[in-house]
Structure 1
Amino acid sequence: MADQKIHLATLTNNIKTCISIVLDYNGTQYNTWSTLFQLHCRIDLVIDHIIPKVVNEKEKAPKTSDKDLWQRLDDIVRQWIYNTISNDLLNSIIDPDGKAIDAWNRLKNFFLNNKSARALHLDAQFTNTKLDQFEGVKPYCSHLKSLADSLRNVGDPISDNRMALQLLKVLTEDYRPFWTSYGI
């Protein structure tokens, strides 16, 4: 029996323990999901399956010594992508003959293209989010923070002042002293 090396990526039994976010069409978690996914791929030495190395023009593209291993690792990364997104997104990007980089780029394009339209949609969500849609102030604040992060990531950041005003405008009479500080 030949001496086979075990690759780190083959040891991940459940990607959801490493990336607990499920990316969905709403996309408010895209940047967080993307960051966690890239971090996991770097740790498991498979980042080049979603972000290819830049090769100097004078150098030849690096050749993989074991094409079967490369294909297996690519399938593992593609499976990680598929297992960390919603069924609706999965149905939109799945390709039985695709590669991990294809799935990665489809998601990236979906969430980062049309930044203006995405910013308008996210801004409307931010502006129209109400406290009574949530089970308390903490989930409300978390949702606003997520929307603000998504807006920043499409090039339309929310100022600290606007965030504070959005948070304060939904508070009850018990919080009236905070209102006068902001001129509400």
Structure 2
Amino acid sequence: MINEHMSFISISFYMLINIKTHVPVVLDFDSPNYTAWSTFFDIAFHKFGLLDHVDGTVDIQLKHDDVAWLQIDASIVSWLYAMISTDVLQAIIKPRDSVYGAWTSIKEEFLGNARHRATQAQPEFHSLAQGDLFISEYYSQLKRLADTLRDVGKPVTNSGMVINMLCGLNPKYGHVVTTVNVAHPPMTYQQARRFLL
């Protein structure tokens, strides 16, 4: 009786969680946010003790009689579906999918073509020039490309971000380039950006 009561409380608890308060990022093909999205979900899985649903250590075929586990698994699948864009959902949705199945499908969508995405983003990142862009717009484009590279396993170092930002600056900021380059200790990317702003 106690175990049944505990299972009922657990199932109700997971069904009532508003995942948007724990994962404030909607995964989208057009936004380089896979790393942020998956990190927030990983934190939620740890926080709520749900790693066995996503890490592949549990064979769901052995759980077909465990109604409570299956209900919690279905609740987590609904969390995943709620935090992805319509395009991502259409690419991965399957009837009666498990959390492990959905999580793996999403991961493959974003990391499966990592080399192709890196091949596109890397030259664009290194050739980006400020031109007539405001510093904030230039920063946003650099950050978007760097985030894309990070998502595909090719992260740009802090030093690389500073160097690339300085190399692409409009020539009217030449005096700023010198100041940032001679700073001791060296400026971080955020410090250099704030200095430019």
> TM-score when scaled to structure 1?
0.75
How far residue 88 of structure 1 moved from its aligned partner, in angstroms, is 0.4
Does the aligned pair in 2 maintain the 1:46–1:73 contact within 8 Å? no
2:163 to 157, 165, 172: 165
Higher helix share: 2
Q: Deviations along 1:65-94, whole A, 9 cap, x unmatched?
A: 961111111111111111111110011111
Q: Give secondary structure in 2 for the equivalent of 1:4.
A: helix
Query: 1: distance between equivalents of 2:131 and 2:70?
Result: 49
Query: 2: distance between equivalents of 1:150 and 1:165?
Result: 18
| Pair 1:87 & 2:86 matched | yes
Corresponding residue of 1:118: 117
Q: Deviations along 1:10-57, whole A, 9 cap, x unmatched?
A: 341x211111111111351111111110110121122211113389xx
Q: Deviations along 1:144-181, whole A, 9 cap, x unmatched?
A: 335324424433332444422332323572x3212346
How far residue 139 of structure 1 moved from its aligned partner, in angstroms, is 5.9
Does the aligned pair in 1 maintain the 2:63–2:70 contact within 8 Å? no
Correspondence 1:37-52 to 2 at 5 A: 37-52=41-56
Query: 1: distance between equivalents of 2:81 and 2:132?
Result: 30
Corresponding residue of 2:191: none
Query: 1: distance between equivalents of 2:144 and 2:78?
Result: 26
Corresponding residue of 2:190: none
Q: Give secondary structure in 2 for the equivalent of 1:97.
A: coil
Q: Deviations along 1:88-140, whole A, 9 cap, x unmatched?
A: 00111111221111110011111112321121122244346565898x54464
Structure 2 unaligned regions, length at least 5? 182-197
Does the aligned pair in 1 maintain the 2:63–2:69 contact within 8 Å? yes
2:26 to 22, 26, 42: 22
Query: 2: distance between equivalents of 1:73 and 1:140?
Result: 44
Corresponding residue of 2:14: 9
Correspondence 1:103-114 to 2 at 5 A: 103-114=102-113
Which letter maps to 1:29?
N
> TM-score when scaled to structure 2?
0.71
How far residue 9 of structure 1 moved from its aligned partner, in angstroms, is 2.3
Length, aligned pairs only: 173
